[in-house]
Structures are given as C-alpha cells and as structure tokens.
Amino acid sequence: MAPPALNSSHAQSALRSSGATRRNLLITAAFAALGYGLSKIRWRLGGNPNSHPSTPKTLEIYTWSSYVDQKLLDDFKAQTGITEVVVGILGSNEEMLAAIKAGKGGTYSILYPSDYAVTQLVQANKLQPLDHSRLIGLENILPKFRHSVHDPGNRYSIPVSWGTTGLIYNSEKLTPPPRDWSYLWQYPKLLSRRFTLLDDMREVMGATLKSMGYSYNSQNPEEIKQAYEKLVELKPHIASFTTDAWKDQLLAGDLYLAMSYSADAVTLMQEDSRLRYLIPESGTSLWSDTIVIPQPCPNETGAYAWLNFILQPSVAADMTQRLFFATPNQAAYDQLPAPLRNNQSLFPPDALLTKSEGIAPLNEAMTEIYDRYWTKLTSS
C-alpha cells in the first residue's frame, strides 16, 4: 500500500513542478519578449511637449525665488491687464535644463536661465529667437551685455542681472582678512570646518583653477586634474557644499566664511554689519541671469509684455533697490541712489572685472572630464 501511495504523491509533485516550470518558462519568455520589444522601440528621453494654449490673461514664468516679489507682479498686472501670473521657482539651472529637455516645458512662457544655460537651451532647440522689433528699450542695456559670449546680439536672451562669485566672511573672526582664493588653503587651522563652498561644479573648479593662475574655464585636462588634487587637499576642512544653507550659520557665527554669489552676499550684508564681501584679487567669474522665451510658448504676447516691462528703466532700478542685484540697464543704473551706485560689492571696479571671466560653455568631452572629477571629489 505504502509504495504506490508514495509513488502517486511523487508523481503528483512531479506533475506540479513540471507545471510550475512550464509557467516559469512562459513568464520568462513573456519578459524576454517584452524586453526585446522594448529594445526595438527607439524613443527619445524627453521630447517635445504639447503646448497647451493658455488664455491671454495668464502668464506662467519659471524663475529664481529672489527675482520676483509681490510688488513686481502687482505692477505688471496693473500695467498690462494680464490678471494672473503663475510663478514657478527654479532651484538650479540644471534642474531647469533637465525639466525643459525632458519635455516638462510647454506651460511656461518665460524662463530665467543663467548665461551658460542659455547656450545649452539654444543647442537643444528649446528657445524662440527674439523679435527685436517687438522690444522697447533694448538699447539701454550696456554694450558688454549686448555682445556676450553666450548670446551675441541678444538673439535669444535679455540680461536681467549680473554679478560676481566671491567670498562673504565675518570680519570679526578672520584676521588677517582674506584677499584671494588662496586664503582657503593658507589658514586651514583658523578656517577648518568653518567655511562652505558653493554646490556648483563650475564655480568651485573654476575658482580653484583661478587660484593656481589658470583660466576659470580651463580646457586643459592636466590643469583640471591639478585643481581636483588641490581640492582633495582642502576637502577635510570644508564644512559643506551648499548654495543656500550657509546663510543662517554665517549669521549665527557658526561659519566664518562662505563662497557665495554677490547678490546673496549683498542681501545678507544688510542684516549683519560684521559681514564683508570679497571679490578675490586674482579674479573670479562674472555671471548673468537672463530672460528667454521658450519654444513652444503658450502666451507669446504676454511673454513680450513681460520682457518690455522688465526692460523699463524705472522697473529695473526699482528691482535693484528692493532685491539687491546689479542691473545691466544703463538708464536704470543712472536712476539709482548714489550709495547703491557706489556699492563695490554690487558694481565692482573695472580693474577687477577685466581679470574675471564669464563661465564658458564646454563641449561634451570636457563636460565629462569636469563631471568625473567633481563626482570623485564630492563622493569620497
């Protein structure tokens, strides 16, 4: 009795397991087919979004948090009759580039990319050429911003602000005061874990290159490697790579120094008289933020209305006074009160400016070299 029973149960289990393997085989085959099918479909990561036309009464803009405030929006609405302005806040150029290139555009009629991001957007075919006959007051923009390396002749972009990258420091804590980038390497004891650098690959690599006497935009792999090695030496002393989080800690006295953009530094200096902003002697980067019209654009008329509004000298001067960034608009500059015009952190002397460089766009191979060293630096 026992053996047959055993046999039958054995047979059953064999049957069951063969059923199971058959099912497994089917599932594997299905996945293989799916995988093969997927591999045959060539699709584009991102692509062109469908522009959904908005009403002429609404305008969506994608900008930095420090570039708009309620008053600016109210003035705009009162002047143009556009009733609703929707503001998207961008955290970094890279975030915006990824979003726009991946097809998340289509809702915005105005973008605020920085200089090098304009080049990348143009290369990706995401911007509309500007129709200069529809712009009023373009001639007030200073000549050097009308002929920038990123967009000569303002074919796609209009500069809205410019500034430098430098060091903001607590003058009570740092003696002697810093004069150049090399200070970071000279006083490791005083500064150790008391300073932050920007969370920005090009700025940090560029500043280090500049401190060694090379170009902020070096394209020489050997120089870039040297800069990386110099940063590795500094790394244990760096508190953090951050673009924003240093502000509270600098005010509280936990940090003595931070690498920062001039606009942020000047704003913070209003709150604490101990703070000073330094543009390093050996030179730094000059950046500019611009306004562009994306392609596709849901509300073109509204976009031009926004551009012409920002181009008005009184509006630009007002923004500089309220939000503390340097205007590239000569007519607006002339309207500013003398203390602001003479603020050397905001409008540095020409001697320093000639030593500085704009951040130049890199080709893909160079970008990869920078990426590799930056990832190695921040990951170790």
- Backbone angles phi and psi of 6, in degrees to 5: -60, -45
Distant-in-sequence contacts of 272-277, Cβ < 8 A, 24+ apart:
274/170, 274/171, 274/172, 275/168, 275/169, 275/170, 275/171, 275/250, 276/168, 276/169, 276/171, 276/177, 277/166, 277/167, 277/168, 277/345
What residues from 251 to 310 belong to the interface with another protein (CB under 8 A)? 252-254
Instruction: Give the length of the chain.
Output: 380
**In whole angstroms, how close is the CB of 93 to another protein at the nearest point?**
10
Among 1, 2, 4, 39, binds another protein (CB under 8 A): 39
The distance of closest approach from Cβ of residue 197 to another protein in the complex, given in angstroms and rounded to an integer, is: 8
The two beta strands, 110-111 and 257-261, are unpaired
**Is residue 363 a contact residue for another protein (CB under 8 A)?**
no
The correct pick among 112, 187, 261, 374 for binding another protein (CB under 8 A) is 374
Tell me the number of residues near another protein by CB under 8 A: 43
In angstroms, give the least distance from the CB of 272 to another protein: 14
Q: 101 or 144: whose CB is closer to another protein? A: 101
| Contact pick of 46, 49, 56, 106 for another protein (by CB under 8 A) | 46
Closest to another protein by CB, 191 or 239: 239
In angstroms, the CA 274 to CA 169 distance is 8
Query: Contact between 175 and another protein (CB under 8 A)?
Result: no
Q: 345, exposed or middle or buried, with CB in 10 Å at 0-12, 13-18, 19+?
A: buried
Q: Judged by CB under 8 A, which stretch of 6-14, 31-39, 140-148, 270-278 contacts another protein?
A: 31-39
Nearer to another protein, 120 or 282 (CB): 120
Strand, helix or coil for residue 139: helix
Q: Which stretch binds another protein (CB under 8 A): 158-166, 174-182, 234-242, 286-294?
A: 234-242
Q: Does the footprint of another protein cover residue 42 (CB under 8 A)?
A: yes
Nearer to another protein among residue 155 and residue 376 (C-beta): 376
DSSP 141: B
- Taking the C-alpha atoms of residue 157 and residue 146, their distance in angstroms, rounded to an integer, is 9
Is 235 a binding residue for another protein by CB under 8 A? The answer is: yes
Instruction: Determine if 70 is a binding residue for another protein (CB under 8 A).
Output: no
Are β-strands 195-197 and 257-261 bridged in parallel, bridged antiparallel, or unpaired?
parallel
Under rule CB under 8 A, which residues in 76-135 are in contact with another protein? Answer: 92, 94-95, 97-99, 101-102, 124
Judged by CB under 8 A, which of 67, 116, 241, 261 binds another protein? 241
| Calpha distance 355→283 (Å, rounded) | 5
Largest CA distance in the chain: 110
Count of beta carbons in the 10 Å neighbourhood of residue 155: 12
36 binds another protein (CB under 8 A): no
In angstroms, the CA 191 to CA 237 distance is 7
By beta-carbon proximity to another protein, the closer residue of 150 and 194 is 194
| b/e map 222-248, b = 16+ CB within 10 Å | ebbebbbebbeebeebbbebbbeebbe
Measured between alpha carbons, how far is 103 from 98 in angstroms, rounded to an integer? Answer: 9
- Distance between CA 228 and CA 204 in Å, rounded? 10
For residue 121, the Cα-to-chain-centroid distance in whole angstroms is: 13
The pair phi, psi for residue 177, each rounded to 5°, is -70, 150
Binder of another protein out of 68, 130, 201, 250 (CB under 8 A): 201
Question: Is residue 378 close enough to count as binding another protein by CB under 8 A?
Answer: yes
- Interface segment toward another protein; rule CB under 8 A; list 106-114, 145-153, 242-250, 293-301: 242-250
Beta carbon nearer to another protein, 8 or 48: 48
Among 51, 182, 249, 330, contact with another protein (rule: CB under 8 A)? 249
Please classify residue 365 by burial: count the beta carbons closer than 10 Å to its beta carbon, then call 0-12 exposed, 13-18 middle and 19+ buried. Answer: exposed
Measured from the CB atom, the residue of 111 and 239 that comes closer to another protein is: 239
Q: Under the rule (CB under 8 A), what is the footprint of another protein?
A: 34-35, 38-39, 42-46, 92, 94-95, 97-99, 101-102, 124, 193, 197, 199-201, 235-236, 238-241, 245, 248-249, 252-254, 368, 371, 374-376, 378-380
